């Protein structure tokens, strides 16, 4: 009849924290612990393998070349730009999918997630067919504006955004579906247009979801290989990101490849660990 | 006479290895049959599967030759794994169960011989030369290596880490051509695809690749290519699960019949 | 030049098998309660008034201006209506402070940040929330949140204030207090207020007029006492059949305007309501000798059968209704005009601050 409002929970705090403490000290069932540890080992051991096989003594020499740092710099710039691009168009797209109803919405939703299942190389070829010099749109971009995207850093950003954006869209759409749409109605009754309601109410409400999606997208973009090398090509300082450098180093010098992988790994872990606490935990 | 004896000895070792479970990774059933056959007969009767790791540029010819080999030795199956020579070499060194390795460059083969994974010295069975691949009809009228350095021209090369890339570097150095490509592709097929899609105006690829794709691509020969000839070595592998099959396949690839198929595809005899 | 009705609406909405057909008018300053069981269409009506749900047919005029008229295709969107809404669970924006919640509507209407805050502050002060301006909604109690929601809705100076189950989210104790405050604020509100509730007591205490709806149709309208005295359906009889009086409390006694005194076990002082259900009334042919201090001699005005109960309408010094079993009614031999004694135990009355 009269459910307790969520705001009136203050007096219960002491009780609930005690319950939580008890729950935490309780024994963890082996049926969960064993597969959990197995899963952890499965994820961590290959990384440990990299560390063990790393050519520590020659590492400074391996990493002294400017190409390495150029590739790293390019990777960080492109992944960040791809994330920015994904945010710019991905968040509105997620809103459209979550908050409006139009014929074929389910189909469009499936299309949006397509890059997740598409082999990235296929994605790269598809991008070439559309945005390449002879592509449907690329031809027109070339003749009208003299813009060619392949073999240019902007091509790397596009390829990475193509592959990474679905992560952001899915994450933000989930956050939007979880967020109460009546807040938008409340804003409307206060005189807010749909755009104002989105900007001043919905966006702050789903900020954790956007943050999580952006981190996922950034991580995916940073490791992107297939679509990038296919669409943007590979040229040091221009389009050669770390994963491309690692792949090519693997062709001739596995030790150098391991050294490069370590750098990429260290940077990613630093950034992700730093962002995770700030963004991925709900307030 | 001596060669027959050695082969028998090797297969006996292989049979022993299998019996004690050392050859655990091989597709088992095949080799025990060949071992029993070889112990009784002087000329070994082949059977089982021969697994061949071969450079991507050999895909067309080797698929063809594999069928011919199977026809010549009924009961034998040839399984191919085509890929970049470097990655193939890496997987062989890491213990992939292969019988034969055919590489696109001596350097990649060296990875395998250095790890003592080759049985005997590798033999160069063909050579491949570079050609300038241009879109059908050669719209930019490229006639020489120097033309590639022309302004406004987009050229794709292979990355120097892969054989076609190092060959391209040698050719360009020989011709004293200073060329800035727009991209360094991870393998020759990727470089070719870029020409096919019209994303670049030209790329330096193997003659065989141009020939295999002659429907969409034209090739332009250039004299500097002679200085950048790529040798293709082949070797049976030390840890081959099917030793007899490996030896027979290596021998077959060097036969006159195989050479005819290879040269028809644009390869040169060594 | 004031139009006869500040609110003049006929809400017709078809949703599958459900149809809402609700004529609704209100004068300026009037508080109208839409009362009905769950699924009666109350919330649908409220959402239609707010502009969150389009009408299928009918019309909606406010202060002489047409806001919606499906016949001409007119539909003023929610953000352009001079309407304020207090939602059932308030829907305070969790990322904004109480002050910014109240200032939100002002900002949407073009005021800058500083001006809107300056204008919002007096509203919070008026509702006794001066020290909570910087609090985030999750730090507020249910009653405080309700008042912030009210301030937020009032700050845009709506010509139509809509309240959706304004007390439903509160616990019983807070509810009494908030109900009294809300009543005061609604009384001060100069435009039309429409309240949706399924609680007859809320409706009767807060509203000047009740509109009872069942299954999307109006089944009865009238003042709270009219409806309590003459329920037309079993639902109203069961839910609304409540004897309700207003007076001034002093300890355990509430003195009504005409001097009648009612004893109650609740202790309070100041303006108060006293209520008791018809089933709590006992009828006697002779003056009861029990300890009940609340006893009056009254005349039977009418008898009605409601379900398995007989409702007796009594007039006299304290008009009230009583529910009896048919057997008890037969034993008393009741007929219109019969004089009986009615008594109510003090323990069965409820007194509330007004």
Task: Residue A151: give the domain boundaries.
Answer: 78-239
What per-residue confidence (pLDDT) applies to C104? Answer: 96
* Closest chain C CA to residue A197: C108
Say how far apart CA B244 and CA B119 lie, in whole Å. Answer: 12
- Other C-beta atoms closer than 10 Å to the C-beta of C342 total 22
User: What is the CATH class of B48-127+231-264?
Assistant: alpha beta
pLDDT surpassing 90 at residue A76: yes
Q: Domain for residue C108, yes or no?
A: yes
Say how far apart CA A79 and CA A160 lie, in whole Å. Answer: 7
Domain boundary among C218, C241, C264: C241
Task: Choose among B86, B156, B190: nearest Cβ to A251.
Answer: B86
Give the residue extent of every domain in chain B.
48-127+231-264, 130-228
pLDDT surpassing 90 at residue B68: yes
Q: Domain for residue C2, yes or no?
A: no
Q: Domain for residue C1, yes or no?
A: no
Average pLDDT over residues C74-99: 94
> Which run of H or E residues covers position C31?
strand C31-35
pLDDT surpassing 60 at residue C31: yes
Say how far apart CA A248 and CA B161 lie, in whole Å. Answer: 6
pLDDT tier, B52 (very low <50, low <70, confident <90, very high otherwise)? very high
C56 three-class SS: coil
Say how far apart CA A233 and CA B144 lie, in whole Å. Answer: 24
CATH code, C104: 3.40.50.300
CATH code, A187: 1.10.3720.10
For residue B197, list chain A residues with Cβ-Cβ distance below 8 A: 128-129, 132, 134
pLDDT surpassing 90 at residue C20: yes
Shared-domain flag, residues C184 and C253 = no
Contact call for B87 and A250, based on CB within 8 A: yes
**How many folded domains does chain C comprise?**
2
Contact between C269 and C301 (Cβ < 8 Å): no
C15 three-class SS: strand
Average pLDDT over residues C229-236: 71
**Do the domains B130-228 and B48-127+231-264 match in fold?**
yes
Contact between A226 and A124 (Cβ < 8 Å): yes
Shared-domain flag, residues C128 and C235 = yes
Task: Residue C337: give the domain boundaries.
Answer: 244-353
Shared-domain flag, residues C234 and C253 = no
Q: How close A220 gets to chain B, by Cα (Å)? A: 21
Shared-domain flag, residues C129 and C268 = no
Q: Are strands C192-197 and C31-35 parallel, antiparallel or unpaired?
A: parallel
* Closest chain A CA to residue B85: A251
Q: Provide the chain C residues 133-162 that lie in CB contact (below 8 A) with chain A.
A: 137-142, 145, 152-153, 156
What per-residue confidence (pLDDT) applies to B46? Answer: 78
Average pLDDT over residues A89-99: 93
Say how far apart CA A50 and CA A48 lie, in whole Å. Answer: 5
What per-residue confidence (pLDDT) applies to B23? Answer: 37
Asked whether this complex has an ipTM greater than 0.85, the answer is: no
Contact call for B87 and A134, based on CB within 8 A: no
pLDDT surpassing 60 at residue B190: yes
- Interface probe for B, chosen from A251, A253, A254, A256 (most Cβ of B below 10 Å), is A251
For residue A233, list chain B residues with Cβ-Cβ distance below 8 A: 156, 182-185, 194
Average pLDDT over residues C4-18: 89
pLDDT surpassing 90 at residue A274: no
**How many folded domains does chain A comprise?**
1
pLDDT surpassing 60 at residue B28: no
Q: Are strands C350-353 and C261-276 parallel, antiparallel or unpaired?
A: antiparallel
> What is chain C's Cα-based Rg?
23
Average pLDDT over residues C289-308: 80
Say how far apart CA A56 and CA A255 lie, in whole Å. Answer: 10
Shared-domain flag, residues C281 and C311 = yes
Average pLDDT over residues C158-186: 87
User: What is the CATH number that goes with domain B130-228?
Assistant: 3.40.190.120
Is C5 near chain A, with CB under 8 Å? no
Say how far apart CA C22 and CA C235 lie, in whole Å. Answer: 18
* Eight-class DSSP state of A280: I
Q: In this structure, is the dihedral angle defined by the CA atoms of residues B81, B84, B89 and B92, taken in order, positive or negative?
A: negative
Shared-domain flag, residues C75 and C148 = yes
For residue A153, list chain B residues with Cβ-Cβ distance below 8 A: none
Q: Domain for residue A267, yes or no?
A: no
Domain boundary among C185, C206, C241: C241
C203 exposed, middle or buried (CB, 10 Å; 0-12, 13-18, 19+)?
buried
Q: What chains are in contact with C, requiring at least 3 Cβ pairs below 8 Å?
A: A
* Closest chain C CA to residue A190: C105
pLDDT surpassing 60 at residue B51: yes
pLDDT surpassing 60 at residue A11: no
Strands in B151-196 per DSSP E: 155-158, 183-185
The residue assigned the tokens 């604020």 is C185
The residue among B220, B238, B246, B241 whose CA lies nearest residue B117 is: B238
pLDDT surpassing 50 at residue A273: yes
pLDDT surpassing 50 at residue A237: yes
What are the pLDDT digits (tens) for C131-157? Answer: 999 999 999 998 899 999 999 999 999
What per-residue confidence (pLDDT) applies to B200? Answer: 93
pLDDT surpassing 60 at residue B110: yes
What are the pLDDT digits (tens) for B198-238? Answer: 899 999 999 998 988 888 899 999 999 888 888 999 999 99
Average pLDDT over residues C182-197: 91
Q: Domain for residue C347, yes or no?
A: yes
How many helices and strands (H and E) does chain C possess?
9, 19
Tokens of A11: 């007096």
Shared-domain flag, residues C202 and C274 = no
Tokens of A122: 């296929």
Share of chain C above pLDDT 90, in %: 47
Shared-domain flag, residues C32 and C137 = yes
Q: Domain for residue C68, yes or no?
A: yes
Share of chain B above pLDDT 70, in %: 84
What per-residue confidence (pLDDT) applies to C4? Answer: 64
What per-residue confidence (pLDDT) applies to A23? Answer: 53
Mean pLDDT (chain C) is: 88
């Amino acid at each position: 009849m009269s459910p307790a409002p969520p705001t009136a929970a203050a007096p219960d705090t002491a009780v609930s924290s005690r319950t939580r403490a008890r729950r935490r000290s309780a024994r963890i069932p082996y049926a969960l612990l064993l597969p959990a540890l197995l899963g952890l080992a499965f994820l961590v051991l290959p990384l440990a393998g990299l560390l063990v096989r790393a050519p520590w003594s020659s590492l400074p020499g391996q990493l002294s070349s400017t190409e390495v740092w150029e590739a790293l710099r390019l990777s960080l710039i492109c992944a960040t730009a791809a994330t920015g691009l994904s945010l710019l168009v991905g968040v509105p797209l997620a809103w459209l999918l979550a908050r409006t109803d139009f014929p074929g919405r389910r189909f469009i939703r499936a299309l949006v997630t397509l890059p997740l299942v598409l082999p990235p190389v296929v994605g790269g070829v598809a991008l070439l067919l559309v945005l390449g010099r002879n592509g449907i749109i690329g031809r027109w971009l070339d003749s009208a504006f003299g813009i060619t995207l392949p073999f240019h850093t902007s091509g790397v950003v596009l390829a990475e955004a193509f592959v990474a954006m679905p992560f952001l869209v899915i994450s933000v759409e989930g956050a939007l579906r979880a967020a109460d749409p009546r807040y938008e109605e409340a804003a409307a009754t206060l005189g807010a247009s749909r755009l104002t309601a989105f900007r001043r109410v919905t966006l702050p409400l789903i900020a954790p979801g956007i943050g999580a999606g952006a981190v996922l997208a950034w991580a995916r973009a940073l490791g992107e290989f297939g679509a990038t090398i296919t669409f943007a090509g590979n040229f040091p300082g221009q389009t050669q990101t770390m994963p491309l450098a690692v792949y090519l180093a693997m062709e001739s010098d596995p030790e150098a490849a391991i050294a490069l992988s370590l750098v990429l790994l260290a940077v990613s872990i630093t950034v992700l660990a730093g962002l995770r606490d700030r963004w991925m935990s709900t307030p | 006479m001596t060669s027959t004896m050695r082969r028998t000895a090797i297969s006996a070792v292989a049979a022993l290895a299998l019996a004690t479970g050392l050859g655990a990774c091989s597709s088992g059933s095949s080799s025990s049959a060949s071992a029993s056959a070889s112990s009784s007969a002087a000329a070994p009767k082949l059977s089982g599967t021969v697994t061949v790791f071969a450079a991507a540029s050999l895909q067309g010819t080797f698929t063809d030759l594999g069928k011919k080999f199977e026809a010549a030795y009924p009961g034998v199956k040839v399984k191919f794994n085509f890929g970049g020579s470097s990655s193939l070499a890496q997987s062989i060194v890491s213990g992939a169960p292969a019988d034969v390795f055919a590489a696109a460059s001596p350097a990649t083969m060296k990875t395998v011989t250095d790890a003592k994974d080759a049985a005997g010295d590798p033999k160069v069975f063909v050579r491949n030369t570079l050609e300038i691949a241009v879109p059908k009809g050669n719209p930019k009228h490229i006639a020489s290596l120097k033309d590639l350095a022309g302004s406004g021209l987009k050229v794709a090369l292979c990355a120097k880490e892969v054989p076609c890339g190092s060959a391209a570097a040698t050719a360009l150095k020989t011709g004293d051509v200073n060329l800035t490509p727009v991209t360094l592709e991870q393998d020759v097929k990727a470089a070719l695809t870029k020409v096919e899609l019209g994303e670049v105006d030209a790329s330096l690829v193997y003659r065989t690749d141009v020939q295999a794709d002659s429907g969409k691509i034209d090739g332009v020969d250039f004299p500097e290519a002679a200085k950048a000839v790529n040798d293709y070595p082949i070797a049976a592998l030390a840890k081959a699960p099917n030793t007899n099959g490996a030896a027979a396949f290596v021998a077959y690839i060097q036969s006159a019949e195989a050479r005819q198929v290879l040269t028809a595809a644009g390869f040169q005899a060594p | 030049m004031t139009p006869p009705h500040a609110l003049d609406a006929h809400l017709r909405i078809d949703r599958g098998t459900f149809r809402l057909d609700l004529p609704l008018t209100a004068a300026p300053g009037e508080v109208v309660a839409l009362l009905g069981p769950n699924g009666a269409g109350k919330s649908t009506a409220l959402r239609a008034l707010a502009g969150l749900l389009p009408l299928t047919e009918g019309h909606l005029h406010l202060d002489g201006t047409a806001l919606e008229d499906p016949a001409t295709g007119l539909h003023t969107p929610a953000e352009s209506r001079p309407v304020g809404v207090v939602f059932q669970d308030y829907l305070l924006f969790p990322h904004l402070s109480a002050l910014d919640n109240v200032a939100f509507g002002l900002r949407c209407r073009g005021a800058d940040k500083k001006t809107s805050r300056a204008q919002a502050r007096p509203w919070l002060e008026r509702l006794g929330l001066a020290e909570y301006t910087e609090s985030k909604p999750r730090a507020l109690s249910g009653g405080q949140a309700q008042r912030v929601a009210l301030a937020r809705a009032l700050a845009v100076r709506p010509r139509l204030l809509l309240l959706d189950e304004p007390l439903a989210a509160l616990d019983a104790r807070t509810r009494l207090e908030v109900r009294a405050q809300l009543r005061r604020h609604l009384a001060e509100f100069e435009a039309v207020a429409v309240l949706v509730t399924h609680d007859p007591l809320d409706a009767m205490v807060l509203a000047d007029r009740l509109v009872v709806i069942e299954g999307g149709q109006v089944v009865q309208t009238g003042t709270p006492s009219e409806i309590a005295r003459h329920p037309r359906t079993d639902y109203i009889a069961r839910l609304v059949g409540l004897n309700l009086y207003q007076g001034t409390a002093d300890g355990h006694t509430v003195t009504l305007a005409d001097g009648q005194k009612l004893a109650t076990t609740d202790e309070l002082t100041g303006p108060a309501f006293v209520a008791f259900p018809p089933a709590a009334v006992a009828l006697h042919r002779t003056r009861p000798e029990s300890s009940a201090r609340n006893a009056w001699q009254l005349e039977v005005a009418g008898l009605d059968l409601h379900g398995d109960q007989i409702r007796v309408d009594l007039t006299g010094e304290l008009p009230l209704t009583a529910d009896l079993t048919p057997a008890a009614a037969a034993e008393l031999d009741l007929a219109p005009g019969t004089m009986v004694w009615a008594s109510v135990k003090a323990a069965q009355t409820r007194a509330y601050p007004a």
